[in-house]
Structure 1
Amino acid sequence: MKDLVSKLDIEENGATMNSFNPEKLVEMYDATGELGLYLIFDNQLHFGYWDKNNPNASLSEAAARLTQIMIDKSKILQGERFCDLGCGVGVPAIQIAKAKECFVDGITISKYQYDKGKKLAEEAGMSDRVRFIQSNALAIPCDDATYDGGWFLESIYHMGHRQALREAYRILKPGATLLIADLITGPNTSEEFKTFAREQLHSDHIPKEDYPELLDEARFDLIEIDDITESMMPFMVPKVKAGFKQYEAQILQYVQREVMDNWLRVFESVCENLGYILVRAKKRVCP
């Protein structure tokens, strides 16, 4: 792991980085875009979902499947307002806006993601329904109780769970559904990996057992926690390898092969150390 940390080349002056440092998070995601990694995910920078119905799906196809699972779990209705807290370049935001005929605000702290999201929404003819806001997701520029629903799709671990849930409670209307797709710690998670995740990936991961108390503290009622680790982690590394091979020529226009190898090691470490859950909760009508 130490070799991986040194090779990632995302340290600055040897300083230890805070996992919730907004500036460093921006640097990481802006750089990720510039490295061409969005190619292998087809602009959906989140994990994929595989089961007996799609065992041979590519990484981008399986990522779209996970987005659809999240959409299916959402209770958002036609014409209502939805918030994607940590939206990436906005593909899931565009997809839920299309599927549910709702209005979506995508929140990203990254200028690269903000610009790319706006472009993709325009290309999809969805600029009237999908809006992007460049902002820290812990301080969204909106009134209290603005949104009818929302989700954290692989983003809450960058923000701190308590702080993120507190802001989600503020912006959602009473009774609104909140969805969370989260990478979680488990028995196989090493302390070395936790340190690496905080300092280099700006992520702080928690066990799924913490969720009931955290949600209750934030005044959400837990509806379900679905552990889908086995439909994701065994597949991710082979699919990432295949994606890198497919888009090798394009990615090598941006970076040297060593960078691709280092990112593959990151995925290997994540899959070895973390699990994956989907959480559905509801904001309490009476605090």
Structure 2
Amino acid sequence: MSMESVRPVPPPHSETEAMYNGIAALVEATAGPDRHYGFWAGHQDGASIGEATGRLTDLVASKLNVGPGSHVLDVGCGNGGPAVRIAQTSGARVTAIDVDRQALRNGAERARSQEVAALVEFRRIDAMDLPFAPASFDAVLAFESTPHFDIFPLYQGISRVLRPGGRLVVETPYPRTPMTEETRRRISPYLSMLNAVSLDPPEQHLSAARAAGMAAVELIDITDNVRHSFPRLVRGLRERRAHLEAVGGAAEADRLLDAFSAWADATEIGGVIMTFTRIQDGALT
């Protein structure tokens, strides 16, 4: 059955940046600096959020198939954890882009502290207008960043800068079932808080990739492994409610907790890792 995308109204980049600056410190105090899901073996897995997010970073990075001499583009890099980790573990050079200036500063500091600043460059760039020459990159990473974009033009731009045979790896939440009005009502505060543009099912990503001259290599559903992330985050945020109120007031604390709780309870939302490859020019029919 075809599953529709969830599409809120696209926000200006300034609003996206302001949103992250407003809630990032609150969430990071609980979950750590990496703004993505964690990977758990199951409910009894006692790993911390930091350990679990590190696991997912390594799993996703392993799909890039890069090494020394490779050049990776990290689209929507956040605080730079995956970019730094890729440089550390593979020796590849990484260009990490985002519109959040504070996150870019955090990423640059992280790269310096981990002694990979020579391999990782952080730049404030709009992913919908990539200023790079064709075939500039051996691999592209989109780590829970695609909900911020219309994926059809996003994938067109990524395909242009990806060399033939290079890989695009996307890790993202997705709707597992067709969206009902009731589900939309429950998850829309969370998506609005993040200034999300869309939440697309894998088949929509596959269509966008094919239209951009890329073919699917692998699709791994990680719903059972990442579903534990948000309940843990919500518990941690509730334990810090006094801090939330001190920073933003009681009403803002309620809004934040309600939005995250609704997302944590939304069994209709899953997680997936998709790997695509850029087809040789003229090979796609």
TM range, smaller chain: 0.7 to 0.9
1:110-189 mapped onto 2 (5 Å cutoff)? 110-187=100-177, 189=179
| Letter aligned with residue 129 of structure 2 | A
CA contact (8 A) 1:40 1:60 kept: no
* Match of residue 229 from structure 2: 236
Task: State percent identity of aligned pairs.
Answer: 21
Aligned-residue CA RMSD (Å): 2.4
Letter in 2 for 1:88: G
Aligned to 1:219: 213
* CA displacement at 1:129 relative to structure 2: 0.6
- Is 1:76 aligned with 2:63? no
Q: Structure 1 stretch 19-28 or stretch 101-110: which is displaced more?
A: 19-28
Q: Is the 8 A contact 1:19 1:201 kept in 2?
A: no
TM-score normalised over the length of structure 1? 0.85
Aligned equivalent of 1:275: 270
Is the contact made by 1:19 and 1:199 (CA closer than 8 Å) also made in structure 2? Answer: no
Task: Measure how far apart 1:246 and its partner are.
Answer: 6.8
Residue 67 (structure 1) aligns with: 57
Partner letter of residue 256 of structure 2? W
Name the CA distance, whole Å, in 2 between partners of 1:168 and 1:200.
26
State yes or no: 1:32 paired with 2:27: no
Once the two structures are superposed, what CA deviation does each residue of 1:146-203 show, in whole Å capped at 9, x if it has no partner? 1110110000110111121111111111110110011111327423256546644322
What's the CA shift for 1:79? 1.8
Unpaired segments of 5 or more residues in structure 1?
A: 1-16
Number of residue pairs aligned between Structure 1 and Structure 2 = 269
CA distance in 2, matches of 1:42, 1:18: 29
The answer to whether residue 85 in structure 2 is matched with residue 95 in structure 1 is yes
> Which residue does 1:209 correspond to in 2?
203
The range that moved more, 276-285 or 235-244, is 235-244
Give per-residue Cα distances to partners, 1:207-248, cap 9 Å, x unaligned. 222232221111101011111111112x12331134336767
Separation in structure 1 between the aligned mates of residue 66 and residue 167 of structure 2, nearest angstrom? 8
Task: Give yes or no for contact 1:188–1:274 (8 Å, CA) kept in 2.
Answer: no
Preserved CA contact (<8 Å) 1:237 1:264: no
Taking structure 1 as reference, are residues 256 and 195 closer, same or farther at Cα in structure 2, changes over 3 Å only? closer
Summarize the Cα distance change of 1:267–1:207 in structure 2 as closer, same or farther, 3 Å threshold.
same
Q: Secondary structure at the match of 1:152?
A: strand
In the alignment, does 2:259 pair up with 1:266?
Answer: yes
Cα distance in 2 between the residues matched to 1:78 and 1:207: 34
Distance 1:50 1:261, change over 3 A: farther
1:116–1:76 Cα change, 3 Å? same
Aligned twin of 1:18: 9
Alpha-carbon distance, 1:102 to partner: 0.8
Q: Distance in 1 between matches of 2:36 and 2:176?
A: 20
State the match for 1:12 in structure 2: none
Structure-1 separation of matches of 2:116 and 2:44: 28
**Mapped partners of 1:144, 1:29: distance in 2:** 31
Please give the alpha-carbon distance, in whole angstroms, between the structure 1 residues aligned to 2:247 and 2:184: 33
* 1:36 alignment partner, SS class: helix
Q: Distance in 2 between matches of 1:255 and 1:120?
A: 27
Deviation by residue 1:115-153 (Cα, 9 ceiling, x = unmatched): 111111111111111110011111122212111101100
Distance in 2 between residues matched to 1:64 and 1:257, nearest whole Å: 32
Say whether the 8 Å CA contact 1:179–1:281 is kept in structure 2. yes
* Alignment match, 1:192: 185
2:11 and 2:237 map into 1 onto residues whose CA distance is 29
Kept in 2: contact 1:18–1:198 (CA 8 A) = no
How far is the alpha carbon of 1:51 from its aligned partner?
0.8
Gaps of 5+ in 2: 1-7
CA distance in 2, matches of 1:48, 1:261: 24
Q: What is the CA-CA distance between 1:268 and the residue it aligns to?
A: 2.5
**Cα shift at 1:55:** 1.0
